Each structure stands twice: as structure tokens, then as C-alpha cells.
Amino acid sequence: MPLPAQLVEDPINSLIQRCPDMRTLRQIHAHFLKSPLSSSLYALSKILAFSALSAAGDIAYARRLFAQIPNPNVFSWNSMIRGCSLVSEPSKEPIFLYKQMLRSGFAYPNSFTLAFVLKGCSIISAFFEGIQVHCHAFKYGLDSSPFVQTGLLNFYAKCEEIASARSVFAEIPDKNLVVWSVIIGGCARVGLVNEALELFREMQEFGVAPDEITMVSVISACAKAGALDLGRWLHAFIDRKGIQLDLKLSTALIDMYAKCGMIEKARELFDKMEVRDTMAWSSMIVGLAIHGHVKDALELFKAMLDSQVKPNHVTFIGVLSACAHSGLVKDGRRYWSTMKKLGIEPLMEHYGCMIDLLCRAGLLDEAYSFINDMPIVPNSVIWRTLLVGCKNNRSFNEVENAAEQLLQLEPLNAENYVLLSNLYASRCQWEKVSYMRKKMKDHGVRVIPGCSSTEIDGFVHEFTVADDTHPEIEKIREVLRDIAERVRRAGHEPWTSAVLHDVVEEEKESALCEHSERLAIAYGLLKTKAPVAIRVVKNLRVCGDCHEVTKVISRVYGREIIVRDRVRFHRFVNGTCSCNDFW
């Protein structure tokens, strides 16, 4: 006769709840194996759950135990699926377990099962499998479960399928804080800043109060877009609503101010922090580096070490890029050695920083040798960095080999063809320029246009090269004509060699005049007055001609212009740039 359920469950619950570690759990497990309860599926599932899900657990032990359970119940399957999604090195194991569960025929998924599988899919961006799970939600009648809906929303947001995420979001009747936070964070990650902020406003209209997690997502969106005014408003909102400035939120604000061009405000917040973790130190160091405050970045790194805070991969990206921005080759080599001594294995990004440093210093042969000695296969960014160095130094023997490697890795990336065309054009190798254009045409490759944005009155305005879609484009073009005339009178000669089209010089000059950053700057001049700084974010490097023209604009219009390109910040004041023409 089986024992009453309560006699089995109560002692197990009591023991498991008080279990401090795996050593104790093994003793509990051994005790039950020798008792009349040894065949209790409930007991085994509780032991399994501790092994798989507890911070003191052991997933390997859970796997062995699970393999010994003849017909696991849904609780056991859920514990294993969830536990395998929490491991430090994510894999498809949660998905494989879910498939095994369906094939077993002894247990059917519930809403928790699907939510845990969807989390596993989102962690590794397993889009195809996640869509299948979505279909299963309908099949098993679980599509209206709040757990499943939140899981689907998180899955689509993490896979950057925002349209699908919005569709799921729209179907949720009672939208709680976690749902709102997921969709806002998803929009922020893919750069849909205006959408993220609009959702944040909707959230407040629905009477849902944001927490620290929501604010981190919204502030990160502002950081990505360089939307300083909105970021400031959100900072004031945090103070007004009494939202706790925890480590993550404080670090997000530091990152936002740094990426929006207010490095002094970022440093002020950093200095006020009572407790700083590795990410806070790293964010500040990276911020100083991209602003060209190299001395401050390296001094802060020393202070970090003195504070006994261990640096990580991000920290050294900031340190090495700071060295690259100022050509500090000796220091860069020293920090490279320090990183390896601390047991931090260099990632591709660190190799990229060192290649950039050597190329900027004109040490192209050493840079090429450094690439050949890499223990990991160089990616396209490494070869592009090398070729940019070749272009800037106008001499190098290994251009063709680097070009071949780059095009083999990314034969459909338009940026590679443009870079190589520019390089050949700078050397007047017009046959090779034509060959690059032919290869682009043969592969059906289209050039990705430069995109620049500027924030005006709380809204982020985006421009692409020769953009005519903006509602105020005619007024913008009037400002562009005024800019062109003033720049010409100031003595600037356009760098038309950067324009590869086979057209006359006048048309080349016109093409340069409508680069995306010039449209954004023109709009800033149209809509704001001094002393308000014009802030622009660009998705590519600023071209040489636009850099020179912006210096002239800052002088003849008496305006401060701050441009964040893909590499660093440029602060233009009275005809000079903070990068000292070294970028």
C-alpha cells in the first residue's frame, strides 16, 4: 500500500528548503535511496530541482539523476530545461530536452515548459526553434498564458524581431511591468529609439510605474542615439520618482552621458558613486577613451587596480583604444602584457585595438606580422583596420593579400568594396577602382548609405546621404547652400578624390555637400541657436572632407559641434577638433 502523499512530501520539502549545499543534498539523496520512499517521483523531482536550479546546485549531478528517472514528470522536465538554460556556456541543450520530452509521450508541456524553452532559445538566438515553440503554444492552448506571452515577447526582442515582438505585445491584455520592460529594451537594442521612448510614455499613461530595469533600457536607448535632452529628462524623472540609483542604473547614466558627449557629467556621476563594480569602472574608462581623454582614461585604470577591482575584457578595450587614439605604442604594448598577466585571454576586439594602434603609428609591417601571429583566425574587422592603415599611410606591400582575405570573408559587404575603392583611388589606380565596382555589380552588392542623427526637441531625426525625405528638406538645403558658400569663402577646397563616381568635379562637390552628417548639422543650424551645441551621431567614420568642413563650420558660424562617429567623438570648436586630426 503506497504511503500517503503528505508523509512523503512534507519531510522532503523541509529537508530541501534547509539544504545548504550539494554535499548535504547527496546525503539526503542517499538517505532516500535506502528508504521506502526511494521510488517516489516527487522526492526525486525535488532533489533534481535543487541540483539543476539552486545557486549551490550542480547541473552535472542533475543530468545524471535525470537519466535514472524512468518516466520524468513535467516538473522534472521543466527543472532540467530551465537549469540547462542557466549554465555559463549556453547551448541548444534546453531545446534538445524539450524535443525529448515531446517524443517520450509520458509528459506534456505546460506554460512553464514553453516559457523555459523560449528563454533557452532567446539566449542563443535560436530563431527557427523559437518559432516552432510559438506554434506549439497554439497547439497546446497555452498561447494566452502570461508566462508564455512574456517568454515569446522576450524571445522575439532578443532575436531583434521587433515587429513580431510588437504583435505579441499587442495581444497581451494585462501588460505588467516585466512585459513593458522587455519590449522597451528590445526596441532600444535595435536602435528604435523613438519607438522605445514612445512605449515608455504609453507605459506611464497605462499607470505602470517603471523600475530600475525599465529605466536602464530607456536610458540605453538614449545612449545609442545620442539623445542627450531625453537622457537628461529621464535622469530628472528618476530623481523625481525616487527610483533607486543602483549599480546598473548609475552605470547606464554614466554610459549615456559619455555617449551623448557630456563626458564631464559622466565623470561627475562616477565620482559620486559610493560603490563601483568592474562595469562602472570600465564604462567610465571607455567613455574617456572615445572622447580622446587618454591621460584621464589611463589614470583611472591605475586607480581601478589600486582599488582592488579586477578589470575585464571591456576594461582593456577602453585602455587599448585610448592608446590607439593617441599613438601610445609603448604604453599599448605594456597594457597588452598586463592583460595577459592578469589571465584575461585577448578577444578579437583586443587584437583589433592593437592592430589599430600599430597602423595609426605607421607600423604597418609590424601590424601585419601581429595579424599573422594571432592564435585565432582574423575576422573582417582586423583586415579592414589594416587596410584603413594602408590608405592613411599611402604605402604598404601587403594590400592585395589583405584585400583578398577581406573579400573572401565578406564577399557581400559593400563597406569592403568602398574601402578598397577609396584606397585604390587615393593611389590613382583607376583600373582597380573599376574592377571593384564591377565586382560589386556582379555580386549584386549595394552600398549601405551613411546615416546620421540629431536630437531636436526630444525627437531623433535621421538623415542618409542625399536624403530628400525629411519634411523640412527645402529649408535644410537652403542652409546647405549657405554652408557651401561660407566654406568656399573660407578657402576650403573639397576633397573630391573621396567621391568615386565617374562624374565631373562639380557633381563630386555636390555629392560631398549632401553627406548625412552635413544634413544633420544643417538641420541643427536651422533649428537651434548658439550657445546650444549641435550633436550628431553617425554610423560610419567621418570622411576627411566632412571633418575639414565641420572645422570650418564651427568657426564661421561660431557653433560647437559634437560628432560621434563609429570610432570616437569629435568636438569641433572655433575651427579645431578635439581629435587633433588623428582618427
Grid cell at residue 241: 520618482
From CA 430, how far away is CA 436, in angstroms rounded? 10
Measured CA to CA in angstroms, residue 189 lies from 80, 160, 213, 223, 238 at distances of 30, 8, 14, 11, 21
Length of the chain: 583
C-alpha cell at 367: 601590424
Backbone angles phi, psi at 150, to 5 degrees: -65, -40
- Residue linked to cell 563597406: 415
- Between CA 129 and CA 135 the distance in angstroms is 10
- CATH fold of the domain at 346-448: 1.25.40
pLDDT digits (tens, 9 = 90+) for 47-92: 899 999 888 889 999 999 999 888 899 999 999 999 999 888 889 9
Contact 536, 564 (CB under 8 A): yes
Q: Write the burial class of residue 505 (CB in 10 Å: 0-12 exposed, 13-18 middle, 19+ buried).
A: exposed
Arithmetic mean of pLDDT, 377-404: 83
Percent of the chain residues topping a pLDDT of 70: 93
User: CA-CA-CA-CA torsion for 202, 203, 208, 212, nearest 10 degrees?
Assistant: -150
Give the type of residue at 21.
D
Closest CA to 328 of 289, 282, 300: 289
pLDDT at 1: 47
Q: How many secondary structure helices (H) and strands (E) does the chain include?
A: 30, 6
Dist. CA 137–CA 156, nearest whole Å: 15
- Write the pLDDT tens digit of every residue in 140-195: 999 999 999 999 999 998 898 989 999 999 999 888 888 888 898 888 877 787 78
pTM, rounded to two decimals: 0.77
Q: Do the beta carbons of residue 315 and residue 302 sit within 8 Å?
A: no
* Neighbouring residues of 434: CB distance < 8 A, sequence distance ≥ 6: none
Residues 6 or more apart in contact with residue 581 via CB below 8 angstroms: 547
- pLDDT of 503: 37
Find the Cα–Cα–Cα–Cα dihedral 105, 106, 108, 110, rounded to 10°: -160
**Alpha helix stretches (DSSP H) within 373-472:** 380-393, 399-409, 414-426, 430-443
| Residue in the structure block whose three cell numbers are 542517499 | 30
pLDDT computed for residue 422 by the predictor: 81
Lowest model confidence (mean pLDDT) among 2-16, 189-203, 363-377: 2-16
**pLDDT reported for residue 509:** 47
What b/e readout covers 113-139, taking b as 16+ CB neighbours within 10 angstroms? bbbbbbbbbbbbebbebbbebbebbee
Torsion over CA: 144, 148, 149, 152 (sign): negative
Mean pLDDT of 29-49: 79
Sequence-distant (≥ 6) Cβ neighbours of residue 306 within 8 angstroms: none
- From residue 444, give the alpha-carbon distance in Å to each of 332, 380, 404, 425, 430: 41, 20, 18, 22, 21
Most confident of 250-254, 469-473, 494-498: 250-254
Q: What is the pLDDT of residue 512?
A: 55
pLDDT at site 508: 43
Q: Is 396 helix (H, G, I), strand (E, B) or coil?
A: coil
Residue 96 has pLDDT above 60, yes or no: yes
Q: How far is CA 219 from the centre of its chain?
A: 14
Identify the residue with better confidence: 449 or 5: 449
What contacts 24+ positions apart, CB below 8 Å, involve 558-561? Answer: 558/530, 559/524, 559/525, 559/530, 559/533, 559/534, 560/531, 560/533, 560/534, 561/521, 561/524, 561/533, 561/534, 561/535, 561/536
DSSP 8-state class, residue 560: -
In the chain, % of residues over pLDDT 90: 55
pLDDT band at 497 (very low <50, low <70, confident <90, very high): low
pLDDT band at 9; cut points 50, 70, 90: low
Mean pLDDT for 422-450 is 85
Q: How does DSSP classify residue 69?
A: -
Mean pLDDT of the chain: 88
Residue 538 scores a pLDDT above 70: yes
In this predicted structure, the answer to whether residue 504 has a pLDDT above a threshold of 60 is no
Q: Are 582 and 324 in contact (CB under 8 A)?
A: no
Q: Give pLDDT, residue 74.
A: 94
Which of 170, 188, 273, 279 is closest to 234 using CA atoms?
Answer: 188
Instruction: Give domain limits for the chain.
Output: 346-448, 452-577
Q: What is the pLDDT of residues 326-340, one digit of tens each?
A: 889 999 999 999 999
Q: What is the pLDDT of residues 291-305, one digit of tens each?
A: 999 999 999 999 999
Q: In what order do the strands lie in the sheet with 451-456?
A: 459-464, 451-456, 534-538, 561-564, 569-573, 576-577
